[in-house]
Amino acid sequence: TGYVLSQLSQFHTGLRFAGLKIVHVSKMLAGEHYAEHRGKIFFPSLLEYITGNIHYPNEPRKQRVIAIVYQGHDTVKKIRDIAGPTNPHIARDEKPGCIRALGTVVPLKDDEGNVIGDRMDNLIHASATDEEAEREIKLWFRPNDIPPTMPMTLL
C-alpha cells in the first residue's frame, strides 16, 4: 500500500488527493462497480477478489480496499500511466516500473477446480475515462466527501 501511494503522490503525478477512505466492499457495491462485466465468465471471481474473499475468506476485518480520488490536469491519463497495463505479465514487459508490474496472474478455477482462465491480481483499479471516473466516484463517495476542485499550486 505504501509503495502504491508513494507512486501516486503529488511529487510523481502533480495530482492532489481529493478523497480517500478505507471501504469494506459489499457484493452489491462490487457488482455496481463492475457492472459492465456482468455475465462474463470471470465476473464471480472479480467480485470475490474486490470484496476480499479470495485473499481473506475467513477474516472479514481484512476485507477492505482503499478508495482514492485525485484532482488535477489529465488525472485519468496520469493515474492509468502509473498503474500500467491491466495484465501484470504485460505490465512487466511493457512498463516494468509501473504498479501493476508488481501484480500476479494465477489460475482461475470453476467450482470443480478446473482451470478456466487467469485471475489477475493487479493491485490497483484505475478508471478508464473521465466519464467512468465520475460514475465510480458517485458509487464510492458521498457528495460531501469530495471538496470542490482546488486550484493547483506549487506547495
Give the start-to-end residue ranges of the domains of the chain: 2-142
Mean pLDDT of all residues belonging to the chain: 86
Range 2-142 has CATH code 3.30.70.270: no
Across residues 121-137, what is the average pLDDT? Answer: 91
pTM of the model: 0.80
Residue from 33, 55, 89, 125 carrying the catalytic annotation: 125
Examine the pLDDT at 151 and tell me if it is beyond 60: no
Question: Is 89 a known active-site residue?
Answer: no
Return the pLDDT at 74. 93
Confidence of residue 140 (pLDDT cuts 50, 70, 90): very high
Extract long-range pairs of 55-62: CB within 8 Å, 24+ residues apart. 60/24
Across residues 72-80, what is the average pLDDT? Answer: 93
Return the pLDDT at 9. 72
